[in-house]
Structure 1
Amino acid sequence: MEMAYTTPDDYEDYPVITNRSTSTVCNTIDINDFCKNFLPRFYYVIFIASVLGNGVVLLVLYKFEKLNTVTNIFLMNLVASNIVVTLTLPFHAIHYSNQWIFGEALCKLVNSTDYLGFYSSILFLTLMTFDRYLAVVHCVVANKQRRTCYAVVLSAVVWIISLLASLEPYIHFTVEEYPIEGLVCEDTSNFQWKLFSLYKQFVLFFILPLTVFIYCYFRITLTVLATRMVGKHRTVRLIFVIVLMFFAFWSPHNIILMINGHGDPKQCSSLSYAEYVTSNMARLYFCINPVFYTFLGRKFQNHVRGVLVSQVPCLSDRISFSSSSRMLA
């Protein structure tokens, strides 16, 4: 997630230093140079990789899959969440390379959209995990309840919750002008709101999903081992790795946020570097998970080979695929 900018006037209220400003409390010149030289290029690379990766997932779903299955509805919504975050990256890249040139309306919209994609992505990962739990552990009940209407309604609920949660940055972000930085799109909320946002994100979008994942996969593992459901192993392993990688990329950032949010402002240099690095590690996830779909899903690999053969016929002698393969349904 893009961290809110904090200006020198905020130091008395909020100890987290995450901006490109400098002050007597914490000199961030080196951090500013790091962000200006590295982050724009990094965001452009993520943007291209994410558009291509998520685009391949959507293309394969459209060409080879039934779009009205429960799993594929959730998967399409997850990819849509990733794309929502991806579309904000060029704005952030330009912001770090120079200043905010898009006006206050887009400042609010871009940051709110960023949070919308992030929150919805977490919730759809949680929803997919819980759906797998129902399909494996309570398969009899799930076969009766898991219908298209069920997936559409739950997906709509996820987007509504994510939209409500992302209204806060729309309200609090604004454009300020500073002598050195120029125009900066930043969070102008007070310390109490920032602390509330920190705990909201940590509890609702980290601890709660983690609890659901641990419980669901513990029960799924026990069920698969007890019933020897060989056909389910690959599906469970695929979703498990996707979720595991999400927390591998997202946990460090949450830990740094909790430390930085209650730490000493004078120690901000190393923490600010860590906050930027872990924040962008988390962003990297949004272009990596399509890679897992491609390389861990055998049926998805088959679909991709089918796309290659259909687009480049000369590869048909070197690439084999089955036209009857189905995905995560």
Structure 2
Amino acid sequence: EKNNLNITNITEDTLNVTEASEDPLEHTTFYPSDYTDQNIILLCVNEDLQKGVFIQVLYYLVFIFSVLGNGLVLYVLVKYRKLNSVTNIFVLNLAISDLLFAISLPFWAVDHATEWIFGNLLCKVMSGVYFLGFYSCILFLLVMTIDRYLAVVHVVRATRGRKNYCAITVCVIIWCVCILVTVPEFVLTGVMEHWDGHMLCVILDEDNHRWKLWGSLQHVVCFFLVPFAIIVYCYARIIKRLISCRTHRKHKAVKVILIIIAVFFLCWAPYNVIVFFDCLEELGVPLFQECEEKRALQYSYYIIRNITYFHCCLNPILYAFVGTEFRKSLTHLFCRSTSCKKMQERTYTVRNSTHSCQ
């Protein structure tokens, strides 16, 4: 309100001077406090975009699909005791990380719709849970790729090293690393009142610029560039090994691998490009000086970030439902009716007859 009153007074003084003098700027004094960088930036903020219904609906959709998909993965793995393999241990932890990420989305949907109404403690908790799920998801995708690489390319070495206790140890290390990385988010995040009276859940540290810059660099380098380079290398070696093998299933395996790489790149690369641009802005590189360019960057950020969120819905399809054993367990789960059992028995009889004729 103070800034608005000052701007109004300046406007009235300017009009009065215009009538008395040919040069309207000759007797006009401008105060730096009335024209801060914050006020200039606010002119380029699209409030309709931040309060848009589309973002809220999309958050709820991602939440629903992620809970259904990853919840089903957890249920099947626990009910049918499929945790006797290294791959399933990693799939279980990936599903947990996706669920952690998805749990925070309804809170951010309400925040976008109105303001942060859940208090300071939940602000800290949801910020920590959000980044914990975000970072752990990337690392579990990475170790699953390395595990596949060892199982296909280095079969002998993998036979000795791919033990369940090794997988559990790796998972514990990943969770510990991600918790340590998200501690600053939990400690520094809190609720503050915006200049327009709305309550925000933001970083409260005085040196906000430094933490934002460090977070952007950490996100781009440690949680995208390095993992993506390792994933591409591992899958390239896997494809090379599969092509050299004489098996009719290699083409399907190669297709699945290419789909996994494409989905990972499409979901994470655009988002990290936007984060990198934001990092350059924090360093003072004048990439986007015009207001329209800043608004275009905001639109790109919101759209690309929402595409990235869908990755937690796709993980169950790519890493669980594709597996043969998991599909069998899923079929057994949904096929408990008498008609379905009869169909399975009939199929089993036909297969046995075919094999006996051969």
Q: TM-score range by the shorter chain?
A: 0.7 to 0.9
Q: In the alignment, does 2:237 pair up with 1:219?
A: yes
Instruction: Measure, in 2, the Cα distance between the counterparts of 1:175 and 1:98.
Output: 14
Structure-2 residue corresponding to 1:245: 263
Structure-1 residue corresponding to 2:212: 194
Shift of the alpha carbon at 1:299?
Answer: 4.3
Instruction: Measure, in 1, the Cα distance between the counterparts of 2:185 and 2:338.
Output: 49
| Secondary structure at 1:186 match in 2 | strand
Shift of the alpha carbon at 1:318?
Answer: 6.0
Instruction: Measure, in 1, the Cα distance between the counterparts of 2:61 and 2:228.
Output: 29
Q: State the number of aligned residues.
A: 303
Instruction: Measure, in 2, the Cα distance between the counterparts of 1:317 and 1:273.
Output: 54
Instruction: Measure, in 2, the Cα distance between the counterparts of 1:248 and 1:280.
Output: 12
- Percent identity at matched positions? 34
Instruction: Measure, in 2, the Cα distance between the counterparts of 1:159 and 1:51.
Output: 20
What's the C-alpha RMSD, in Å, of the aligned pairs? 2.6
Structure-2 residue corresponding to 1:48: 64
Instruction: Measure, in 2, the Cα distance between the counterparts of 1:34 and 1:93.
Output: 10
Instruction: Measure, in 2, the Cα distance between the counterparts of 1:58 and 1:176.
Output: 38
Higher mean Cα deviation, 286-295 or 166-175?
286-295
| Secondary structure at 1:185 match in 2 | strand
Corresponding letter in the other structure for 1:187? I
* Alignment of structure 1 residues 1-329 onto 2, 5 Å: 23-27=39-43, 30-33=46-49, 35-64=51-80, 66-180=82-196, 182-189=198-205, 190-228=208-246, 234=252, 237-238=255-256, 241-261=259-279, 262=281, 263-264=287-288, 266=291, 267-293=293-319, 296-310=322-336, 312-316=337-341
CA contact 1:111–1:170 (8 Å) conserved in 2: yes
| Secondary structure at 2:214 match in 1 | helix
| Secondary structure at 1:79 match in 2 | helix
Shift of the alpha carbon at 1:230?
Answer: 5.1
Unaligned 5+ segments in structure 1 are 1-10, 13-21, 323-329
Higher mean Cα deviation, 222-231 or 169-178?
222-231
TM-score of the pair, normalised by structure 1: 0.83
Larger Rg, first or second structure (1 or 2): 2
| Secondary structure at 1:228 match in 2 | coil
TM-score of the pair, normalised by structure 2: 0.77
Shift of the alpha carbon at 1:212?
Answer: 0.5
Shift of the alpha carbon at 1:300?
Answer: 3.4
When residues 291 and 222 of structure 1 are mapped into structure 2, their CA distance, relative to the original with a 3 A threshold, is closer
Relative CO higher for 1 or 2, CA cutoff 8 Å, sep ≥ 6?
1
Deviations 1:19-68 (A, max 9, x none): xxx84334356444453422222111111111111111122223445312
Shift of the alpha carbon at 1:260?
Answer: 3.1
| Secondary structure at 1:276 match in 2 | helix
| Secondary structure at 2:191 match in 1 | strand
Corresponding letter in the other structure for 1:134? L
When residues 76 and 243 of structure 1 are mapped into structure 2, their CA distance, relative to the original with a 3 A threshold, is farther
Shift of the alpha carbon at 1:108?
Answer: 1.3
Instruction: Measure, in 2, the Cα distance between the counterparts of 1:149 and 1:296.
Output: 24
